[in-house]
Amino acid sequence: MVMKKCALCWDNILESEAVYGTAWQTTGLICKECVDYVGPNQFKAYEGSSLAAKTYEYSHVSDWDWTTYQDTWSSSGKGINYQPCNHHMVPFMFEATGEKDSYTVHLTGSSGLKSTPTVADMPTVGVYLDDGWFQGRLASNTSHDLDLSQPASLYIGWPDFGVVTVDILTQAIDWVIPYVHNRQDIIEIACIGGHGRTGTFLGALLIHEGWAANDAIQYIHGRYCTKAIETLGQEDLLHEYYKSLHGEANDESGNQQLCETGL
C-alpha cells in the first residue's frame, strides 16, 4: 500500500483511492471525499497524470529569452507561451509536522511588484534571494545597525535558476526560523519571479519543520504555484537539505557569506 497526502485536505490516503486533478485552484492527488465535497463543477481530473518527477525544460538563466519575458520564454530554441504570475506578498500557510499550529509566510517576485499586493501589511522581515533587491537598501555582514527604517532582512547571493550550498541554505533557514515562529512578524520571501529560488527556500522551510522533501514540493506546487522550484538541481538541493537534517549529508563547507542587516 502506497500512502500519500490529499492535496486539498492533506489527510493521509491510499494512492489507489485518490484522483489526480485540480480543485479550488489546488492541483495534486485529491481524495475521493474531497472530490465529492467540492462537486463536479469545481474539480477537473487529469487522465494519465501522476505525481512523477517534474519535467524541466531549462536549467540555466541563459535558457530564458529576456527580450520576450512578458509573454514568451525560450528553451532549446522552442518558443513556449508564458504568462507571468505576478506574485506579490502571496500568503502561504503550512503546519509543522506533529503540530496543530500553522505558520504563514508571504511570497513575492520582483517582476510582480507592479501588481497589487495580496495583503495590505508591509513585511517586517525579508528574505531576498536576488541581488536586485539591494536597490534602495543597506546590508552588512557586520554587527552594525545601518538603517532601522528597513525590515530585518537577509540577502543571499543565489544565482537565478541555480542553487546554493546546503551549508548556506542551512544558515539562511536557521536565520528566519525564529521570525516564522513569532507570529507577530510578517515575512516576505522573494526573488525575481517568485518561483525557483523562492520556491526552493520555501521547500527547505517546510523540510525544517518536519516535512519530507517530496511532500513539501507537492504541497508547494498545489497550494502556491506549479512553476515553483524550477530546476532538477533545486529539487536535488531540497533532498540534500533533508539528508543534512537527518545526519546523512556530505561534508560541505560554504565559502559564501550571508549578508544580513543587523536589524
- Dihedral angle sign, alpha carbons of residues 184, 261, 96, 213: positive
Q: What share of the chain is helix, strand, coil (3-state, %, to 5)?
A: 30, 20, 50
Q: What are the residues whose beta carbons fall under 8 Å from the beta carbon of 123, sequence distance 6 or more? A: 89, 106, 151, 186, 187, 188
- Grid cell locating 194: 517568485
What is the tens place of the pLDDT at every residue in 189-205? 999 889 999 999 999 99
Res. 261: pLDDT tops 70: no
Q: Distances from the Cα of 91 to the Cαs of 72, 105, 175, 252, in angstroms?
A: 27, 6, 20, 33
Q: Which of 3-7, 153-157, 256-260: highest mean pLDDT?
A: 153-157
Nearest Cα neighbor of 108 from 231, 190, 214, 48 is 190
CA dihedral sign of residues 239, 240, 244, 250: positive
Question: Tens digit of pLDDT for each residue in 220-254?
Answer: 988 898 889 988 899 999 999 999 998 874 444 33
DSSP code per residue over 204-256 = HHHHHTT--HHHHHHHHHHHT-TTSS-SHHHHHHHHHHHHHHTT--------P
- pLDDT above 70: residue 23: yes
C-alpha dihedral over 122, 128, 133, 137, to 10 degrees? 70
**pLDDT 10s digits, 124-153:** 999 999 887 877 666 666 655 555 556 788
Q: What is the pLDDT of residues 100-113, one digit of tens each?
A: 778 999 999 988 88
- Looking at every residue in the chain, the average pLDDT score rounds to 77
How far does CA 38 lie from the centroid of its chain? Answer: 26
Helix (H) or strand (E) holding 4: strand 3-5
- How would residue 56 be classed by pLDDT, with cut points 50, 70 and 90? low
Greater confidence, 20 or 63?
Answer: 20
Residue-wise burial string across 65-96, b where 16 or more C-beta atoms lie within 10 A, e elsewhere? eeeeeeeebbeeeeeeebebbbbbbbebebeb
The domains of the chain, with CATH numbers, are 1-50 (no CATH), 53-83 (no CATH), 84-263 (3.90.190.10)
